[in-house]
């Protein structure tokens, strides 16, 4: 009798515990990924490359040369767009975990294109399409990173004609410099805002006036380090290398210029997203 009563009491106790045991099991399954998570809403993010009017329409350099391009070739690698919350100029992580990338906060949502892109930003009437990501998590892609990397033809190639005081100089200027532009942004406009099922853009921008300068901005002011002409070397150093009335130079010729160190610093400021700056570093 004693054993029977004990058995019934235990059975009753176990039945009272079963609902709680089932609930615990469900929670445990949810924690270790055993249950399906809700699918995250996505849209299409389009990566754009913009050489601006300086590449497409030409300009007058800070030292008075009219520069018109036939081609402005760039080799873009690793274009990446990511989402951060901007708070007192500090990037904070948001959304789900991403993959490691220079200066992307841990946990920030991000998308990237894997290929290299050899593009002529002189062509067209506006920014060029690099590629698209069709399953990008929704949100505000307000920061980008990308790089320039050398190919057999260079990482950055300018081909065109410069004119000053009746002198016309055809030029081909080839650079092999490898540069990483990281944490570019935030873009000053509302570009990069991606809604579910919609399309948004992430812009990679190159400011070539940082190399040659812009006559419309006036002479460089040593006290204004953020101005366009502060690091620009103009076109005259390249014109000085003309042979038989033409400039055909590569990386070694450019590194031999007295202005090379200044030009190298200017190249590190080339990358932007819109008007917003990047952190530039030699690769």
Domain definitions of the chain by residue range: 1-37, 42-282
Decide if pLDDT at 16 tops 70: no
**Beta strands 199-206 and 271-273, pairing class:** antiparallel
The distance in angstroms from the start CA to the end CA of the chain is 84
pLDDT-wise least confident of 16-20, 84-88, 148-152: 16-20
**Mean pLDDT (the chain, rounded):** 82
Residue 119's DSSP bridge partners are: 74
Decide if pLDDT at 222 tops 90: no
Supply the DSSP symbol for 105: P
Q: Which residues of 52-63 are buried (b: 16+ CB within 10 A; e: fewer)?
A: bebbbebbbbbb
Q: Using 50, 70 and 90 to split pLDDT, how confident is the model at 217?
A: confident
Portion of the chain with pLDDT greater than 90, in percent = 67
| pTM assigned to the model | 0.79
Provide the 3-class DSSP secondary structure of residue 22: helix
């Amino acid at each position: 009798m004693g054993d029977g009563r004990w058995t019934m009491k235990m059975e009753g106790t176990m039945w009272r515990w079963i609902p709680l045991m089932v609930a615990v099991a469900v929670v445990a399954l949810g924690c270790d990924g055993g249950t399906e998570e809700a699918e995250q809403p996505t849209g299409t993010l389009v990566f754009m490359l913009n050489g601006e009017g300086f590449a497409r329409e030409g300009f007058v350099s800070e030292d008075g040369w009219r520069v018109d391009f036939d081609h402005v070739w760039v080799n873009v690698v690793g274009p990446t767009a990511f989402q951060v919350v901007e708070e007192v100029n500090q990037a904070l992580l948001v959304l789900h975990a991403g993959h490691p990338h220079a200066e992307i906060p841990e946990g920030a949502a991000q998308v990237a294109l894997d290929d290299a892109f050899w593009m002529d930003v002189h062509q067209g009437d506006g920014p060029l399409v690099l590629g698209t990501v069709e399953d990008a998590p929704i949100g505000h892609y307000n920061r980008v990173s990308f790089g320039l990397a050398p190919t057999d033809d260079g990482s950055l190639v300018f081909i065109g004609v410069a004119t000053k005081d009746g002198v016309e100089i055809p030029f081909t200027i080839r650079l092999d410099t490898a540069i990483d532009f990281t944490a570019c942004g935030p873009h000053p406009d509302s570009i990069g805002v991606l809604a579910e099922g919609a399309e948004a853009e992430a812009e990679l921008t190159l400011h070539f006036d940082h190399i040659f300068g812009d006559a419309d901005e006036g002479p460089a002011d040593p006290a204004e380090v953020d101005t366009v002409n502060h690091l620009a070397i103009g076109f005259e150093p390249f014109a000085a290398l003309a042979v038989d009335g033409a400039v055909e130079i590569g990386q070694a010729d450019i590194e031999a210029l007295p202005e090379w160190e200044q030009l190298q610093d200017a190249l590190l400021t080339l990358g932007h997203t819109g008007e917003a700056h990047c952190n530039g570093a030699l690769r």
